[in-house]
């Protein structure tokens, strides 16, 4: 079965992935001045490019300068210079892998101290218990803001192609804006963007149509979708099945399955489940169900660290295996698998009972490994999560000061 992992995959756009292993998106928080990728991002992706993956998907690049998931986020809009992105693309493709840019809008998942806008389908704030005040209170988007957002996604995709990327992945998972529109818990609209699943999916479908119209037929377009939100009354597996069917006629190449949101961070693992397979492939059971009827090839991401787990996922019917944390810890893991070897080390688990705080600490741990790779150093995954979290805070504060100053002098249209 390991041979299947290293078999090529032909996509409907004509793109060919050299194997079935993908580096899934992780938020690098490595934006330099002007919210642009710099030499650190280039070095990080050059390291991954040499590791043997068939596909590298970037951390989320923001389509709206006034709406970032964090102050270290990269922005690619009509005002951004292309040269830094061109250098990024060259580095990521240096080893023969395809390079896709994940593009995103955070919607309501914006930290309270961030400048800019906090938007959502409805004025429904995040419920994180005692941590709720860490995020801004959203306002319901107007029809004009929705239309402008569709145009922003298309512009970012068009410019990504111009910079040399091979495709884009539209982020419609993890509770970000497009996922918020899909969720009946968050989307309480009564107009054409709310109510039925067809209406709640309208924004995602319009975004995909606009991107397909803005890029070449040979440019890959993928969508990251929750297999479920893991919240009672939220977006469920049957909803995912229907949305995949809606995406099929629109020229989508691949759908990546994940799950969860800031309110229910299933994407960071489900330690309460004692089964090894569930700990190592969080969404495998749901993916298996969806693969049975999916008209599009599926990619499964979430906790995969070992070759035999990846093989089981392929055998379940998914076409591509996505890994995030595993490749932050062991960037050459695909080459190791090809040689019959496994990783020497793994990330220290976060077992805190406070799920929201544990999620933040997990992300800080992963960022710490990526930043070490970007500096030409080896990962150090045994660091205590509290140490990683505390060390991350001054970096975030410096990035926030820089982002505030930049946004205040950028185009007035970015804030609307």
Element (H, E) at 412: none
Query: Which bin fits 28, alpha (ψ -120 to 50), beta or left (φ > 0)?
Result: alpha
Residues 6+ apart with CB under 8 A from 144: none
CA distances from 387 to 71, 98, 173, 368, 384 (A): 21, 35, 29, 10, 5
Average pLDDT over residues 220-249: 85
| Topology adopted by domain 2-415 | TIM Barrel (3.20.20)
Q: How far is CA 359 from the centre of its chain?
A: 15
Q: How far is CA 223 from the centre of its chain?
A: 10
Confidence tier at 146 by pLDDT (50, 70, 90): very high
Q: Strand 55-57 vs strand 21-23: parallel, antiparallel, or unpaired? A: parallel
Residue where the block lists tokens 């995969």 = 304
pLDDT at 281 over 60: no
Element (H, E) at 151: helix 143-163
Mean pLDDT of the chain: 90
Q: Percent of the chain at pLDDT above 70?
A: 91
Q: Domain locations in the chain? A: 2-415
Structure confidence by residue, pLDDT tens digits, 312-345: 999 999 999 999 999 999 999 999 999 999 999 9
Predicted TM-score (pTM) of this structure? 0.93
Report the distance separating Cα 212 and Cα 157, nearest Å: 9
Structure confidence by residue, pLDDT tens digits, 94-107: 999 999 999 999 99
């Amino acid at each position: 079965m390991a041979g299947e992992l290293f078999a090529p995959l032909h996509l409907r756009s004509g793109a060919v992935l050299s194997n079935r292993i993908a580096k899934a998106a992780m938020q690098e928080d490595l934006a330099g001045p002007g919210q642009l990728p710099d030499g650190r991002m280039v070095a990080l992706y050059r390291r991954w490019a040499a590791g043997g993956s068939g596909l590298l998907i970037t951390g989320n690049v923001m389509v709206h300068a006034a709406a970032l998931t964090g102050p270290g986020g990269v922005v690619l809009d009509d005002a951004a210079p292309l040269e830094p992105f061109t250098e990024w693309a060259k580095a990521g493709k240096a080893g023969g892998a395809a390079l896709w840019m994940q593009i995103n809008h955070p919607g309501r998942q914006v930290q309270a101290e961030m400048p800019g806008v906090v938007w959502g389908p409805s004025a429904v704030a995040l419920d994180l218990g005692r941590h709720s005040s860490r995020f801004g209170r959203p306002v319901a988007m107007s029809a004009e803001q929705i239309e402008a957002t569709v145009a922003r996604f298309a512009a970012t995709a068009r410019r990504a192609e111009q910079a040399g990327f091979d495709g884009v992945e539209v982020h419609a998972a993890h509770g970000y804006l497009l996922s918020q529109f899909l969720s009946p818990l968050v989307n309480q609209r009564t107009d054409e963007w709310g109510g039925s699943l067809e209406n709640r999916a309208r924004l995602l479908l319009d975004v995909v149509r606009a991107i397909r119209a803005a890029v070449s037929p040979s440019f890959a377009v993928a969508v990251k979708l929750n297999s479920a939100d893991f919240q009672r009354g939220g977006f469920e597996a049957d909803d995912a099945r229907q949305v995949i069917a809606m995406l099929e006629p629109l020229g989508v190449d691949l759908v990546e399955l994940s799950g969860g949101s800031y309110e229910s961070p299933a994407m960071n693992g489900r330690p309460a489940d004692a089964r090894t397979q569930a700990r190592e492939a969080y969404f495998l059971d749901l993916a298996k169900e969806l693969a049975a009827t999916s008209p599009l090839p599926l990619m499964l991401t979430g906790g995969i660290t070992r070759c035999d787990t990846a093989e089981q996922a392929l055998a379940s019917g998914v076409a591509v295996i996505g890994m995030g944390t595993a490749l932050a810890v062991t960037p050459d893991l695909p080459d190791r698998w090809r040689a019959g070897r496994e990783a020497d080390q793994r990330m220290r688990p976060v077992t805190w009972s406070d799920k929201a705080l544990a999620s933040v600490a997990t992300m800080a741990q992963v960022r710490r490994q990526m930043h070490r790779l970007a500096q030409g150093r080896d990962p150090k995954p045994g660091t205590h999560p509290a140490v990683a979290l505390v060390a991350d805070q001054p970096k975030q504060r410096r990035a926030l000061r820089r982002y505030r100053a930049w946004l205040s002098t950028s185009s007035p249209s970015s804030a609307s």
